[in-house]
Structure 1
Amino acid sequence: MTRHTKHADAVVTGAGSGIGRAFARELARRGGRVVCADLDETAAKETVAAIHAAGGEALAVACDVADVAQVQALHDTAVDWLDRAPRLVVNNAGIGAGGKVVGEAPLSDWQRTLGVNLWGVINGCHVFVPTLRQAGRGGGVINVASAAGFTAAPRMAAYNVSKAGVVSLSETLAAELAGTGIAVTVLCPTFVRTNIFDGELIDPGAAGMARRIARIAGFSADRVARTTLDAHDKGRLYVVPQLDAQLLWRTKRLLPAPYTRAAGLLGRFVPDEEGASR
């Protein structure tokens, strides 16, 4: 087992809250120096302060991952601060979106969701992977997708498409990096107790239901981060941490047509922005 996450100089995007903050704190606990990037620099600094309080080393950087120039600046800042290439890159930054069917969801919602959730990961891989290759020290890339990338739940099209793209990108990247010593892992959780449901692109009715499910059945961000890092050390491409996601993945692969019909029926019970089901 290669311990990519032990004493790993790492870059984590979306590190100001949720799963990103959990990744940053866990990597610091494992002895690594962590560059904590977030659109909200204040939130990133809060993560850094927590790491410093625990005796770790970290740096906060403001970055909009949808802007490749800012991701390149993040890369340059990280290499300068670490005084070498990072060993691990966690492309985690993402936003929630959902509640409207295709044709009703504004194209601006599609553009913003794909810009952050998919292009943010594309930009991270495009900028950092060549540096990992050139460093010749192995290392790893963890891309945060979602079970939404394969469950294709109704009224979540933009989010589903963005996360499916991250899964496909990760699979492709893993094939391209085979034999280089650079491991690739893609995380596909279902409900995690984070603030992602507070996003402005999620209708209030759908967000409220998601929060209730996460509160009852969701995993903590800390648990998801630990599980993912341990799986990455074992060389696993896919991390599907929750039983519900594992069951949905297998069911869809075995029974695609019945699965889609069932998903359509269940989608009618998702409340819209007025709180009513369709």
Structure 2
Amino acid sequence: MFGLGSQKKPSSHANAVVTGAGSGIGRAFALEIGRRGGAVLCSDIVLAAAEETAALVRQRGGQAWACHCDVSDLDQVEAMACRADEVLPAPVDLVINNAGVGVGGTPIGEVAIDDWHWTLGINLWGVIHGSHVFVPRLRKAGRGGIINVASTAGFSAAPLMGPYNVTKAGALALTETLAAELAGSGVAVTALCPTLVKTNINANGRIVGDSSRLFDRLMARFGMSAERVVNDALNALDRGDLYVMPQFDARMIWRAKRLVPRTYAMGTGLINRFGASRLN
């Protein structure tokens, strides 16, 4: 599909950069890439967390290094690329734009502008910066892969999640554009669009009020492990799939949004109000 031909699978023995690798999905990506024989530069805004992930990869027999990076800052992403050149045994051929934060619980018009800027800086500009810096390298090499961690939120547009929805929709659109631009280049592009994944996004984010409590309850009951999500994503990249939606509900939302968009929007609002009322 993307001109991979007889080349090795992008996830196999890769030289990878993973952003937001200090925990959750990012840490699971780093561990799985290491398990598949790859070498990983683990970046995170919290250096100690990135170092812990790198140590875990090494404990399991993989190669890994850590670096600090705030993906909202282009200079820091460029510095991360230079660090990857220094430590990885070969040029980067797999990029996981994963770093992300959560904001929710407040309607548009009441969401603090600072929350908009914070979310856009990490969830959207982080993916833009990662793509801006690494895509030319991959295109020149004519091989490799990119996984952008989007979300079902990128097309589900659930209420009280305005900043998060906007950033993930942007990340999805960017990924689709990259897939078109890189078609036939030997570089595979995949958008990861999960629903609930067992990570620290609620604890480390800015999800407030009833939405935070509802999120925790749904996560405890329906959340999928980061390890399973990551395995599905890397396998999808190897197949040349543009989209990977690991959970059944994500695939159902995708279909419903396209078949009955107005009914879907009304139903989503009613479900949200019913869920909130059950907490009170």
Q: Shared fold by TM > 0.5? A: yes
The count of residues paired between Structure 1 and Structure 2 equals 274
Q: 1:4 aligns with which of 10, 13, 18?
A: 10
Aligned to 2:81: 75
Distance, in Å, in 2 between the alignment partners of 1:135 and 1:210 is 42
Aligned to 2:130: 124
Q: Give the 3-state SS of the residue equivalent to 1:193 in structure 2.
A: coil
Distance, in Å, in 2 between the alignment partners of 1:52 and 1:247 is 39
Superposition RMSD in Å:
1.5
Q: Does 2:266 correspond to 1:261?
A: yes
Q: Give the 3-state SS of the residue equivalent to 1:36 in structure 2.
A: strand
Which runs of 5 or more structure 2 residues have no equivalent in the other structure? none
The Cα of 1:52 is off from its aligned counterpart by 1.1
Q: Give the 3-state SS of the residue equivalent to 1:184 in structure 2.
A: strand
Q: Give the 3-state SS of the residue equivalent to 1:3 in structure 2.
A: coil
TM-score, structure 2 as length reference: 0.95
Aligned to 1:36: 42
The Cα of 1:225 is off from its aligned counterpart by 0.4
The Cα of 1:270 is off from its aligned counterpart by 5.0
The Cα of 1:230 is off from its aligned counterpart by 0.6
Q: Does 2:75 correspond to 1:57?
A: no
Task: Read off the aligned partner of 2:250 and give its amino acid letter.
Answer: A
The Cα of 1:200 is off from its aligned counterpart by 3.9
The Cα of 1:199 is off from its aligned counterpart by 2.6
Contact 1:97–1:199 (CA under 8 A) maintained in structure 2: no
Q: 2:22 aligns with which of 16, 21, 36?
A: 16
Distance, in Å, in 2 between the alignment partners of 1:194 and 1:257 is 31
Contact 2:39–2:89 (CA under 8 A) maintained in structure 1: no
Q: Give the 3-state SS of the residue equivalent to 2:58 in structure 1.
A: helix
Contact 2:144–2:188 (CA under 8 A) maintained in structure 1: yes
Contact 1:85–1:132 (CA under 8 A) maintained in structure 2: no
Structure 1 runs of 4+ with >6 Å offset: none
Contact 2:120–2:167 (CA under 8 A) maintained in structure 1: yes
Q: Does 2:132 correspond to 1:111?
A: no
TM-score, structure 1 as length reference: 0.95
The Cα of 1:62 is off from its aligned counterpart by 0.3
Between 205-214 and 138-147, report the one with greater CA deviation.
205-214
Contact 1:17–1:43 (CA under 8 A) maintained in structure 2: yes
Between 202-211 and 117-126, report the one with greater CA deviation.
202-211
Aligned to 1:97: 103
Contact 1:149–1:163 (CA under 8 A) maintained in structure 2: yes
The Cα of 1:209 is off from its aligned counterpart by 1.4
Aligned to 1:242: 247
The Cα of 1:271 is off from its aligned counterpart by 4.0
Q: 2:144 aligns with which of 139, 142, 148?
A: 139
Between 153-162 and 202-211, report the one with greater CA deviation.
202-211
The Cα of 1:23 is off from its aligned counterpart by 0.3
Percent identity for Structure 1 against Structure 2: 53
Task: Read off the aligned partner of 2:227 and give its amino acid letter.
Answer: D
Contact 1:19–1:92 (CA under 8 A) maintained in structure 2: yes
Between 182-191 and 126-135, report the one with greater CA deviation.
126-135
The Cα of 1:267 is off from its aligned counterpart by 2.5
Aligned to 1:223: 228
Aligned to 2:53: 47
1:101-144 per-position Cα deviation (integer Å, ceiling 9, x unaligned):
000001110110011000000000000111112223x0000000
